[in-house]
Amino acid sequence: MCMAYLDPALTIRQANPEFFRQFGTTSEDVCGRRFQELVHPSVQQPLLRQFSGLVEGRRQRFATHVVALRQEESREDSAFSSTLTAISVRGGTPGDAAILVMMPPGQASAEEAGVVTSRKKILTEIDARILEGIAAGISTVPLASRLYLSRQGVEYHVTGLLRKLKVPNRAALVSRAYSMGVLKVGMWPPKVVEEFIK
């Protein structure tokens, strides 16, 4: 079982050897980092909401599906899916709290689970704003007006986005963007994750 001990700020303080093996890293590389840095961007926001319930004392535990990222980017299977269980651990004094995170090892690779894991900076600033608009359901003319572009300018960028993400239409574009973690989950209006913007 992969186990890690987090402080209330979700910083990794300690972990067992199986945790380091599963994430392809060492104690020096992972201790002191925030736990959300080890998961796919598409699950970061929902996971943070779950953790906030533990930190604020509204719940004692939760279990959820996550896509985690191995720190060895060179590996083809740099992402894997797993079930994460987090338990609030209260100390003897007020404010003395921690979170125990447990994940079974050897879960499916993200590719087997159907998750796209590319984390390259694939969008320009204008591409990001257009993608956000499309995901919010804004049609071409109002989107052009908001971004100070012509209708043809918006269509040009939409065509480029369709090619970049290898999809046939706008609905598939939004779906693919969510599956890649390009759009933040659980946020309205839709927002592109900064690490995908050049």
Cα–Cα dist 193/21, whole Å: 28
Return the closest-CA partner of residue 70 out of 2, 165, 6.
Answer: 2
Domain 2-103 has CATH 3.40.640.10: no
Pick the CATH number of 125-196 from 3.40.50.360, 3.90.550.10, 1.10.10.10, 3.30.420.480: 1.10.10.10
As annotated, the residues of the chain forming the CATH 1.10.10.10 domain(s) are 125-196
56-102: per-residue pLDDT in tens? 888 899 999 888 887 765 444 577 788 999 999 876 555 567 899 99
Q: CA-CA distance, 131 to 142, in Å (whole number)?
A: 14
Please say whether the beta carbons of 135 and 190 come within 8 A. Answer: yes
pTM over 0.85: no
How does pLDDT run across 6-33, given as a tens digit for each residue? 998 999 999 999 998 888 888 888 889 9
